[in-house]
Amino acid sequence: MALTNSQYDLILREYEAKQNRNRHLLEERTAYVYEHVEGYREIEESISSVSVEQGKKLLAGDDTALTELKSILADFSSMKKQLLASAGLPDNYLEPVYDCPDCKDTGYLGIRKCHCFKNREITLLYEQSGIREMLENENFSALSYEYYLGEDLLRFQNAVTTCRNFINNFNSDYHNLFFYGTVGTGKSFLSGCIAKELIESGHSVIYFSASGLFDTLSKIKFDYRNTEELHKAYEDLFQCDLLIIDDLGTEYTNNFINSQLFSLINDRHLAKKAVIISTNLSLEDFRNRYSDRIFSRITSNYEICKITGPDIRMHKKKLQNRK
């Protein structure tokens, strides 16, 4: 999916605005020079007339006309730079202005997206994800195994390997992940690691806490004054490249939530759109809390990762309190 059509159009409009702004700036600079730098306009006019004259000579068979033109233009260029310098202006003052000189504010290098377009794309994807600040700390650069021992360590190492494989094969292999286990053991952290890597590679990722997800779905379902923003949120839920549902099981559960959860994970499965779910519930508690068909979809279509160990958040908090 990457960008939606509306996001892509937004970026193109931004490039158009850059081009218009910089074109206007160049026009203002040109008008200033013509008015305040004596002789500059005359040189520009001379360049036009000399170019036409030498062009006629070339068409008439004068083989030296092109060489002469290059020499004359070089002299004129030197004269213009001298005039600009005398007015206290840089010699490139009247060259085209670009925010990005590489693509000349088109966003593309041939048929490839320019680095500036990709950076803007990633910025939009971060904004869409809703977890920009969280991912500043929850990413692979902050990964540590120091809190785990024995079987807990082995499970976490295996989960990390699973996450890296998920990322590396994301474009070629439809895959879902289900993290479960005790509180504070790194389930949300690993989801964040995956989210950051995929966003940085240009994929759209949407993050929701379970309570936030079902609150949004409820508004979409029952708010008859639905805004365009709610409709967009609904589209994002079903169309984004990766949907992360964090802390499933912390929300108030009823038939509506069960129905909406099943529809969401089933529709995304049919569309081959990846989902990551994390929960503090055991598999038995998860099955008892949700319907059999939800449990069946999860166990059939998700790679199950159990993560156990100490509550890392509480451990860090205790260390801070001791300082």
pLDDT in tens, the chain (323 residues): 456 777 788 899 999 999 999 999 999 999 999 999 999 999 888 888 888 888 888 888 888 888 888 898 899 889 999 999 999 999 899 999 999 999 999 999 998 889 898 888 888 877 777 777 788 888 898 898 988 999 999 999 999 999 999 999 999 999 999 999 988 899 999 999 999 999 888 888 888 888 888 887 877 776 656 555 556 667 778 888 999 999 998 887 788 888 889 999 999 999 999 999 999 999 999 999 988 899 999 999 999 999 998 877 776 666 565 55
Prediction pTM value = 0.71
Q: Which domains does the chain have, with CATH numbers?
A: 17-101 (no CATH), 130-322 (3.40.50.300)
CB distance 244 to 276 below 8 Å: yes
Looking at the chain, how many residues does it have?
A: 323
CA atoms within 13 A on the CB side of 217: 20
- By DSSP bridging, strand 108-109 and strand 112-113 are antiparallel
Q: What is the 3-state secondary structure (H, E, C) of the chain?
A: CCCCHHHHHHHHHHHHHHHHHHHHHHHHHHHHHHHHCCCHHHHHHHHHHHHHHHHHHHHCCCCCHHHHHHHHHHHHHHHHHHHHHHCCCCCCCCCCCCCCCCCCCCCEECCEECHHHHHHHHHHHHHHHCCHHHHCCCCHHHCCCCCCCHHHHHHHHHHHHHHHHHHHCCCCCCCCEEEEECCCCCHHHHHHHHHHHHHHCCCCEEEEEHHHHHHHHHHHHHCCCCCHHHHHHHHHHHHCCEEEEECCCCCCCCHHHHHHHHHHHHHHHHCCCEEEEEECCCHHHHHHHCCHHHHHHHHHHCEEEEECCCCHHHHHHHHHHHC
The tokens for 132 are 């920009």
Q: Does the CA dihedral 249-254-258-261 come out positive or negative?
A: negative
| Whole-angstrom distance, CA of residue 14 vs CA of residue 107 | 10
Residue 64 phi/psi, 5-degree rounding, is -90, -5
| Whole-angstrom distance, CA of residue 219 vs CA of residue 73 | 68
pLDDT the model gives residue 1: 47
